[in-house]
Each structure stands twice: as structure tokens, then as C-alpha cells.
Amino acid sequence: MDHTGATRPTSHLGAPLVELESVNKHFGDLHVLRDIDLTVRQGEVLVVIGPSGSGKSTLCRAINRLETVDDGTIRIDGQPLPAEGRELAKLRADVGMVFQSFNLFAHKTVLDNVTLGPRKVRRLSKADAEAEALELLDRVGVKNQAAKLPAQLSGGQQQRVAIARSLAMHPKVMLFDEPTSALDPEMINEVLDVMVGLAHDGMTMIVVTHEMGFARKAADRVVFMADGMIVEQATPEEFFTNPRSDRAKDFLSKIL
């Protein structure tokens, strides 16, 4: 799988899939999301970058309804986020999430980690869930680790299992919150390669990352956040070579 240097035509973008309108969120006195308007279209890969504390994780958690918001609306595939119950479980299946820490079930095998959700939520039989899980584990390059426990795998392998586990729910959109920042440097690319592959296969993705190589290879759009606001957005090419705001220039000078 070599996607190096591939460019992405924008004609692959479909209908709006994730829509945020005037979304606000406070933690006490702290205004963490300020009037966020954002639309992500089907097949789009959006990279979110910005300084620590700018609200990137809160944004992801709000989209996945792990956090409530104070006002504004968030819609997934046209449907407003449900508050609770069965509808919320369905939403969680539609919106996959991969965290910085791999969050695998420590006492379950890799295979069980991937089959658990599909058996419970999608009501697949054990055999069907396992067949599909093995295909997904193969796709992320860890099929031969299926019988092991997470602790027996490297960080990069665990994160790839976490991606397979999310994919097993057949999400409409995948959220990645700094998926490689807890990894040793030599394992970063094996995870990014899987994500680039997903992007090229047409998955809609919102990716919080400071990995510029990934953004350049896979992103349709870069959103720069600071102080809970979307300060600037552009194509990766435009953003990295010609940032407009002082906040973005300052931020890029520190990480590039």
C-alpha cells in the first residue's frame, strides 16, 4: 500500500455528513468551543490542528456525544445528536473514534476486542463477526496477532487494532484524536499509513494531528483552532505554505 505523493481530487466529496452550527461549550468559566460552524462532507478528510487547550478534543468528543454542548446544533447525516438511549448507541456506531491512548479491553484478545461491538450492537453471529474482524485485522496488518492480548502488542499494533475495532461498527465517519502522539517515533508511520489508506478508500475522517506529512498526503482541508475558535481553514498546501493569521503563523513556526 503506497499512497505517497498521491493527490486527492475534490470531486470525491459528497453530501454534508457532519454539521455543526453555532456550537458553544463551557467548562465552568472557560469558553472551550466558541460559535463553531463546521461542515464535513461525505468522503472528506479534515485535519484539525492547533495549540494544546484550543478545544480540539472537546470538538471530537462533542461530535461523538461524549460531551454535551451548551447550545448550537450538531447533526450526523442529517440527524441531530440524540440525548440518550438506543438512538445514542446507534449514533456511537455511526461515529467511530480512535483516541491517543488505545483504549482496548486489556483482558480480551485482539479478536474479541474487534468482535464485541458488532456482536452486541450489530447483532452479528460469532462466526460472522470473527470472519469480518479477521478481514479488518488483515487490512490494518495485524491479523497474525488476533489471539493475543493487547499488552503483548506494540503501541503501533494496538492502535491499528483500535482502528479495526472502530471500522467493525461500519461507521459513517471516523474521528481520530491525536492517534499517534503516544507512539514511539518508529511506529507512527505504520498507523498513519493505515489512515492514509482509509482516506483513499473514501472514509469520511476528522483527524486531530500535528503530523504534517499525513495532512499533506490525505487531507482535503485543514482547520486551525485557537482559543475554542476556528481561526482559519484552507487546503493543506495553502495552509502550510501561506498561513494568513498570526496565530497560525506563530503555531507553525513552533512545530515545523
The H or E element spanning position 63 is: helix 56-63
In the complex, least distance from residue 54 CB atom to ligand ADP, rounded to whole angstroms: 4
Closest residue to Mg ion, Cβ-based? 57
Assess 111 for contact with ligand ADP (CB under 6 A): no
Stretch that binds ligand ADP, among 55-63, 130-138, 153-161, 232-240 (CB under 6 A): 55-63
Q: Between 34 and 53, how does the x/- string for binding to ligand ADP read (CB under 6 A)?
A: ----------------x-xx
Decide which of Mg ion, ligand ADP, none touches 30; Cβ closer than 5 to 8 Å per partner kind.
ligand ADP
Q: SS3 of 132, please?
A: helix
Residue 246 CB contacts under 8 Å (≥ 6 apart), including other chains: none
Cα distances (angstroms) measured from residue 142 to each of 111, 145, 148, 165: 10, 5, 10, 12
Decide which of Mg ion, ligand ADP, none touches 27; Cβ closer than 5 to 8 Å per partner kind.
ligand ADP
Decide which of Mg ion, ligand ADP, none touches 32; Cβ closer than 5 to 8 Å per partner kind.
ligand ADP
Assess 55 for contact with ligand ADP (CB under 6 A): yes
Q: Which of 17, 40, 44, 58 binds ligand ADP (CB under 6 A)?
A: 58
Stretch that binds ligand ADP, among 27-35, 89-97, 103-111, 163-171 (CB under 6 A): 27-35
Q: Which three cell numbers stand for residue 62?
A: 462533542
Whole-angstrom distance, CA of residue 112 vs CA of residue 129: 9
Assess 96 for contact with ligand ADP (CB under 6 A): no
In the complex, least distance from residue 27 CB atom to ligand ADP, rounded to whole angstroms: 3
Whole-angstrom distance, CA of residue 231 vs CA of residue 229: 6
For residue 100, the 8-state DSSP code is S
Burial class (CB in 10 A: 0-12, 13-18, 19+), 125: exposed
Of 224, 220, 228, 230, the C-alpha closest to 249 is: 224
Applying CB under 6 A, the residues found at the interface with ligand ADP are 27, 30, 32, 50, 52-58
